[in-house]
């Protein structure tokens, strides 16, 4: 895990080559798991470093309190299933977008958009896996109505129904 004193260069070296597909395939630990493993304080600090890097790219548009608000929102909400790699990708996407002024809602919307994109990617991968492993052969050599066991069960059922 990166430290609270990490520089922009260290962030780029650690996360720079990441793509969403790599994050989905590698399954890095989520923020909730990192908190259990490394502690709440250290995880918050690392998240704040990543958000601060984004803030510095926009000339310091948001305050430290706003950065801590974003960290708290991500940590405590449904978005705690994202990883640090996801958070870095989100920040990179904001940096390369047409955003000119950084605001807390901009970051939170980007987090939600990223989660939706990631969920769609996972669903598509699961669906493609299902299609790739789908049985395509003939499941039975004859219709079930011609099966002797089916006929026997049908006769028993109709006999019981007629007796009542």
Is the backbone of residue 60 left (phi > 0), alpha (psi -120 to 50) or beta? left
Average pLDDT, integer, range 81-88: 89
pLDDT at 147 over 90: no
Q: Is residue 128 part of a domain?
A: no
Q: What is d(CA 22, CA 123) in angstroms, rounded to the nearest whole number? A: 15
Q: Is residue 83 part of a domain?
A: yes
Which residues constitute the domain of residue 18?
8-120
> Would you state the pLDDT for residue 8?
62
> Would you state the pLDDT for residue 2?
58
Average pLDDT, integer, range 33-46: 90
Q: Is residue 12 part of a domain?
A: yes
Q: Is residue 145 part of a domain?
A: no
Q: Is residue 19 part of a domain?
A: yes
pLDDT at 149 over 60: yes
> Would you state the pLDDT for residue 98?
85
Average pLDDT, integer, range 142-147: 75
What is the number of structural domains in the chain? 1
pLDDT tens figures, 108-138: 999 999 999 999 999 999 988 888 887 766 6
Q: Is residue 142 part of a domain?
A: no
Q: Is residue 135 part of a domain?
A: no
Q: Is residue 53 part of a domain?
A: yes
């Amino acid at each position: 895990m990166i430290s609270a004193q990490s520089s922009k260069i260290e962030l780029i070296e650690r996360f720079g080559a990441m793509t969403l597909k790599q994050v989905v395939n590698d399954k890095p630990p989520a923020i909730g798991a990192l908190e259990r493993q490394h502690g709440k304080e250290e995880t918050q600090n690392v998240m704040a470093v990543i958000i601060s890097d984004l803030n510095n790219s926009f000339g310091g548009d948001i305050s430290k309190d706003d950065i801590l608000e974003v960290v708290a929102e991500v940590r405590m909400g449904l978005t705690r299933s994202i990883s640090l790699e996801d958070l870095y990708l989100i920040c990179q996407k904001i940096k390369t977008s047409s955003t000119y002024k950084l605001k807390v809602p901009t970051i939170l919307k980007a987090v939600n958009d990223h989660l939706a994109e990631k969920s769609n990617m996972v669903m598509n991968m699961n669906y493609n896996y299902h299609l790739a492993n789908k049985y395509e052969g003939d499941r039975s050599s004859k219709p079930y109505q011609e099966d002797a066991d089916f006929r026997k069960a049908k006769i028993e059922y109709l006999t019981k129904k007629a007796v009542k």
